[in-house]
Amino acid sequence: MKNKLINYLDLGRSDYKLTWIRQEELLNRIVEIKRTNSNLSEIDSPKTPNYLIFVEHPHVYTLGKSGDEHNLLLNYIQLQAKEATFFKTDRGGDITYHGPGQLVGYPIIDLENFGIGLRQYIYYIEETIIRTLATLGIVAMRDPNATGVWIDVGTAAARKICAIGVKSSRYVTMHGFAFNINTNLDYFNYINPCGISDRGVTSVEKELGSNQDLEFIKEIVRSKFAEVFGATIN
């Protein structure tokens, strides 16, 4: 029996490294259940749990496992001056920024519970954010040449509003998406976001011209995530 119940955790504002450790603990717990289940009949196998973490991070730059450190345009002293930290991670993708006013989502879910692979999973995350933005009156879309959610794709004004970088182990995911809501976009000036130097970034605040209610948007994202994944979020 597939488990489409997702346990929701809102960590508020939390250190990036501590949250990474929390993700790994949950992922390892699910993977261990799957290992045990491989020796049991389907009837005797316990269901694997799913989690969705929402968090804001203090200023931090993270680099994906295949990323290029040269896409960080600051040295260590300059990072300190910006009150930012830097981490190399085990997710896909290149470099990105996390900070206050940005909704970071970490789904730790067993893809086998939803009958999907990693490519479709990323598509579902993009769809979640696209539907959220539509609710807010913003038209967003995918770029066939780049992961994430974009506005005005195919024009000189193309800009990213949500970055995605994930990892999976035995079809269990971690890491996730970074959705710019009231994000200080100046921090993107110090990197080539996701390794792309010729296109900009944006936020809901910038697109709508006013500061946004983060808690309200969290509820929309949760609702759309459940809708897209055919899940119940607890």
Residue with tokens 């799957």: 34
Q: What are phi and psi of 59, to 5 degrees?
A: -55, 120
The reported pLDDT for the residue numbered 139 is 98
CA atoms of 190 and 197, how far apart (whole Å): 11
Sheet containing strand 95-98, edge to edge, reads 85-88, 60-63, 95-98
Q: Is 162 a catalytic residue?
A: no
Which residues fall within 8 angstroms of residue 24, CB to CB, at 6 or more apart? Answer: 174
The reported pLDDT for the residue numbered 198 is 63
Which residues fall within 8 angstroms of residue 20, CB to CB, at 6 or more apart? Answer: 87, 89
Q: How many CB atoms are located within 10 Å of the residue 106 CB? A: 24
- pLDDT tens-place string over residues 174-217: 999 999 999 999 999 998 866 565 679 999 999 999 999 999 99
The reported pLDDT for the residue numbered 194 is 63
Give the domains, in start order, of the chain with CATH numbers.
5-233 (3.30.930.10)
CA atoms of 74 and 83, how far apart (whole Å): 12
The reported pLDDT for the residue numbered 37 is 82
For the chain, list residues with pLDDT below 70: 1, 44, 193-198
The reported pLDDT for the residue numbered 57 is 98
The reported pLDDT for the residue numbered 26 is 98
The reported pLDDT for the residue numbered 106 is 98
Q: What are phi and psi of 79, to 5 degrees?
A: -60, -45
Could you say which of 108, 140, 194, 196 is catalytic?
A: 194
Decide: residue 109, CB within 10 A, 0-12 exposed, 13-18 middle, 19+ buried.
buried
pTM: 0.93
